[in-house]
């Protein structure tokens, strides 16, 4: 298997769930929705992301991994969604290899998903357990919020079954 971590100089957050992920929890964030959070959309996470127009590669990856139905499920989910520009940081041959390797793709995509709904107002620095099983490292500073080495560039994109936080880099598990 290709070592994607070495290819990605910086990592960020984003997207997907596999069966059984509902048992994954957050180590350092609460699941309550704070007052003032954006209103819920009537669309689920997948339809909300597709409608945004900047997650075409993510949508393609979710389809290839067979995770679309999962993320259209009841939830709630928190997805750190890499943009098309984030996926463009991966060399084309390596991205194509990842898209062709369903097991590796599921591992990477589920690393972008947390069980439960975590809005920006609830963010705390520290580890955050993903559906994949490993934890993301959340840091906060005057520069913004980072998940591993990825910056969160937009928060609280509310969906009917959770929330999307947009990240600028694809993050990969160890």
Mean pLDDT score, 151-172 = 97
Task: Identify the residue with better confidence: 8 or 51.
Answer: 51
Give the integer Cα–Cα distance in Å for 3 and 35: 42
* Tokens standing for residue 120: 């920006």
* Tokens standing for residue 109: 């995509």
Q: Quick one: pLDDT at residue 39?
A: 61
Q: Quick one: pLDDT at residue 13?
A: 29
Residue 29 has pLDDT above 50, yes or no: no
pLDDT tens, position by position, 50-78: 999 999 999 999 999 999 999 999 999 99
Looking up residue 51, the CATH number of its domain turns out to be 2.30.180.10
Q: Quick one: pLDDT at residue 3?
A: 34
Residue numbers of the domain that contains 63: 4-167
Domain membership of residue 59 (yes or no) is yes
Domain membership of residue 172 (yes or no) is no
Domain membership of residue 130 (yes or no) is yes
Domain membership of residue 173 (yes or no) is no
Domain membership of residue 25 (yes or no) is yes
Residue 12 has pLDDT above 90, yes or no: no
Of the ranges 35-39, 55-59, 167-171, which one carries the lowest mean pLDDT score?
A: 35-39
Domain membership of residue 21 (yes or no) is yes
Domain membership of residue 135 (yes or no) is yes
Q: Which residues contact 23 (CB under 8 A, 6 or more apart)?
A: 115
Handedness of CA 17, 18, 20, 24 (dihedral sign): negative
Residue 27 has pLDDT above 80, yes or no: no
Handedness of CA 116, 117, 122, 128 (dihedral sign): positive
How many domains does one find in the chain? 1
pLDDT tens, position by position, 85-103: 999 999 999 999 999 999 9
Q: Chain-wide mean pLDDT for the chain?
A: 82
Domain membership of residue 72 (yes or no) is yes
């Amino acid at each position: 298997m290709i070592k994607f971590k070495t290819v990605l100089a910086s990592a960020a957050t984003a997207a997907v769930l596999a069966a059984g992920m509902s048992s994954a929890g957050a180590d350092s964030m609460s699941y309550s929705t704070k007052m003032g959070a954006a209103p819920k959309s009537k669309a689920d996470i997948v339809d909300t992301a597709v409608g945004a127009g900047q997650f075409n590669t993510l949508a393609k990856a979710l389809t290839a991994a067979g995770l679309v139905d999962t993320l259209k499920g009841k939830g709630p989910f928190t997805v750190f969604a890499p943009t098309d520009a984030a996926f463009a940081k991966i060399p084309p041959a390596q991205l194509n290899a990842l898209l062709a390797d369903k097991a590796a793709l599921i591992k990477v995509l589920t690393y972008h998903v947390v069980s439960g709904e975590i809005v920006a107002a609830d963010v705390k620095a520290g580890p955050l357990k993903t559906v994949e099983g490993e934890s993301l490292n959340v840091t906060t500073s005057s520069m913004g919020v980072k998940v591993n080495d990825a910056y969160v560039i937009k928060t609280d994109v509310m969906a009917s079954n959770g929330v999307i936080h947009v990240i600028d880099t694809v993050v990969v598990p160890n």
